[in-house]
Amino acid sequence: MFSLKTAWRFLRSGKGQTILILAGIAIGISVQVFIGLLIQGLQTTLIDTTIGSNSQVTVGTEENYGEIEDWENIVHRINQNVDGIRFISPTLTLPSFISIDDETESTLFRGFDLERGSEIYKFDQNLVEGSLPEEKGEVIVGIGMRDNLGLILGDSLNLFNFQGQSGDVTVVGFVDFKITMLNDSWIISNLPTAQEVFDRNDTVTAIEIQVERVFDADLIGEEIDLLFGGNYVVTNWKEENQELLSGLRGQDISSIMIQVFVVIAVVLGIASVLAISVIQRSKQIGILKAMGVNDGMARNIFLYQGLILGLLGGILGVSLGLTITYLFTLFATNPDGSPVVAISMNYQFVILSFVIAVVASTSAALIPARRSSRLEPIEVIRNG
Amino acid sequence: MDKILTLKNINKVYGTKIKTQVLFDLNLSFEPGSFNSIIGQSGSGKSTLLNIMGTLDRPTEGIVEIMGKNTVEMSKRDLAELRNKSLGFVFQFHYLLPEFTAMENILLPVMMQNKGVSQEVKKRAEELMEIVGIEKVKNNKANDMSGGQQQRTAIARALMNRPKLILADEPTGNLDSEATDNIYQLLKEINEKYRSTFIVITHDKKIAERTDRVIELRDGKIHLDLLR
């Protein structure tokens, strides 16, 4: 208690110094909080736009678009045995062509269980015109294809493939996937329609999955692969998006680097100010030791100063960092008023930043504390 | 009665490459409750001797026994406790902590025991302040007092834990002659009232003459040991 009280007194009596050092910690930690949250926000936005509306783990066959017959059983077994699955949707994907008037266009004709498919591809939310297919023979089409071919609701399309199979479907809606490639080539129907047009039995070509934690996609993929003993080909977004992944990793590393250097700067700042403070107060420490303060207590006086500075600086820094982040989302906005980077609150990260502030300041106090512990009272008394 | 402090064959050498011997084979012992003075020219080794007596410095050779305990073999931690409980120091410079008030400075030796300050302890501190005559400035920070008041506060602080042995190194070195007289009067009164042992360094022969025993050091050796 004596050490704590003395630490507090020393900090209070050196007000200017204390305020400077607190400002240093607060600014450092606020930068750390802001940069951390900003980059996390950037990553979330990036991941969401790239793979948020896409299959993250796909169960397919060796052969491209090969048939899977017992798909219902597969879906059931995955649901039963694998944790961390968010959505699971069987799909029948059929590469095909359409001809309208004299034009022929290659397309990807995809049959979904529309309710489950919507969970991944958000057909309902992305529908810009018309309605979702309800009856057999009804399809919705990407807006890119609509514009290219000048389609309107109610148009009839003739679909055919290399095997010479063909069939007609009716356009009942247009959908905007926000990805040009999909908008230009996808034709969506329910499963029975897709199966019937090209004479398929009750089969699908793939089972598409979204997972709870996107970065666990490879692990979940492996788990599923094991579950079926390698009978199916299981792919995940990570192996198909190496560039995105290394981009994200690069961001992670640079974010950590920035945070580490900020913390190092804070630690050096505290250590140097406290080191000066030990020299300034060596007279006091010497006399306290002459009066019976032992080395441990003398050390604790400075450790407590570090701890107090860390606690106060951490509180200030976190508050400042959150304020800057809030102002950033308020003022750095797109023309439509939405923030440039959608930042979400990560309590764990903020608490971690606070803990780092406290641990860093306390450890920064270690060197001055050691000096204080080793100071011999006779040095002070002999030299006045 | 047992001696409160005994020095046996004390040698003190400074420096490792160029050795300077400051104290030569000193043997001294002090009676409990006595008022002793050490005189000598500057450089005679008085302060070194006092620091060794107070366990602030270690002798190169020899034994320092305080109340029968050999302090040369004690750990730093035990020495700190011994100094806190049994020794009181008054230096030429007051060494008050400027971050604390007069009252708090006096309470420091109790506060550093981490026991909390009881009403009884507070009463004792106030009593001491009255004895040394600084009750008016009890809430002043150390730097808001006159030189005499600061030194009086330092004396009250040295007495706080009722030490058996009080070591003073030119306690009035920075004070004018009137203040000097007052302080010695005060030390004498405390010596008589609490029966604490005083060992005081001074260069003022007039003051030394008023003490029970005068020890004169010359070139690190005892030149004179006069008992009244």
Q: Does a structural domain hold residue A240?
A: no
pLDDT at B26: 92
Q: Does a structural domain hold residue A95?
A: yes
A317 close to A33: Cβ distance less than 8 angstroms: yes
- Verify that A97 and A219 share a domain, yes or no: yes
- Verify that A163 and A304 share a domain, yes or no: no
Q: Which of A175, A209, A231 is the last residue of a domain?
A: A231
Q: Which domain, by its residues, includes A69?
A: 62-231
In chain A, the N- to C-terminal Cα span, in Å, equals 28
| CA A124/CA B2 separation, integer angstroms | 100
- SS3 of B49, please? helix
A105 interfacial to chain B (CB closer than 8 Å) = no
Looking at the structure of chain A, the number of domains it has is 2
- Verify that A275 and A375 share a domain, yes or no: yes
The burial of A302, by beta-carbon neighbours within 10 Å (0-12 exposed, 13-18 middle, 19 or more buried), is given as buried
Contact B56 A6 (CB under 8 A): no
- Verify that A259 and A180 share a domain, yes or no: no
Q: Does a structural domain hold residue A239?
A: no
Q: Does a structural domain hold residue A54?
A: no
- Statement: residue A384 has pLDDT above 60: no
- Verify that A367 and A346 share a domain, yes or no: yes
Chain A residues in contact with B112 (beta carbon < 8 A) = 2, 288, 291-293, 297
Q: Which two tokens stand for residue B42?
A: 């500057």
Q: What is the ipTM of this complex?
A: 0.88
Architecture of domain B5-227: 3-Layer(aba) Sandwich (3.40)
Q: Does a structural domain hold residue A253?
A: yes
In chain B, the N- to C-terminal Cα span, in Å, equals 19
Quick one: average pLDDT of B138-160? 89
Task: Record the pTM.
Answer: 0.76
pLDDT at A207: 92
Q: How many CB atoms within 10 Å of residue A24?
A: 20
Q: What is the pLDDT of residues A94-108, one digit of tens each?
A: 899 988 777 788 899
**Which of B57, B98, B113 has the CB atom closest to A13's CB atom?**
B98
- Statement: residue B224 has pLDDT above 70: yes
A342 close to A41: Cβ distance less than 8 angstroms: yes
Chain A residues in contact with B111 (beta carbon < 8 A) = 2, 5
Q: What is the pLDDT of residues B47-105, one digit of tens each?
A: 899 999 999 999 999 999 999 889 988 999 999 999 999 999 988 888 899 889 999 99
- Please report which confidence band the pLDDT of residue A144 belongs to, taking 50, 70 and 90 as the band edges: very high
Closest CA to A229 of A335, A56, A74: A74
- Please report which confidence band the pLDDT of residue A166 belongs to, taking 50, 70 and 90 as the band edges: confident
Ordered by start, the domain boundaries in chain B are 5-227
- How confident is the prediction for chain B on average, in pLDDT? 89
- SS3 of B176, please? coil
Q: Does a structural domain hold residue A312?
A: yes
Q: Does a structural domain hold residue A310?
A: yes
Q: What is the pLDDT of residues A187-243, one digit of tens each?
A: 999 988 988 888 888 899 999 999 988 888 899 999 999 988 888 899 998 888 888
* A147 or B182, higher pLDDT: A147
pLDDT at A311: 94
B224 interfacial to chain A (CB closer than 8 Å) = no
For residue A80, give the CATH number of its domain: 2.40.40.20
Q: Does a structural domain hold residue A57?
A: no
The H or E element that residue A170 is part of is: strand A166-175
The burial of B17, by beta-carbon neighbours within 10 Å (0-12 exposed, 13-18 middle, 19 or more buried), is given as exposed
- Verify that A87 and A7 share a domain, yes or no: no
- Verify that A226 and A322 share a domain, yes or no: no
- Verify that A108 and A221 share a domain, yes or no: yes
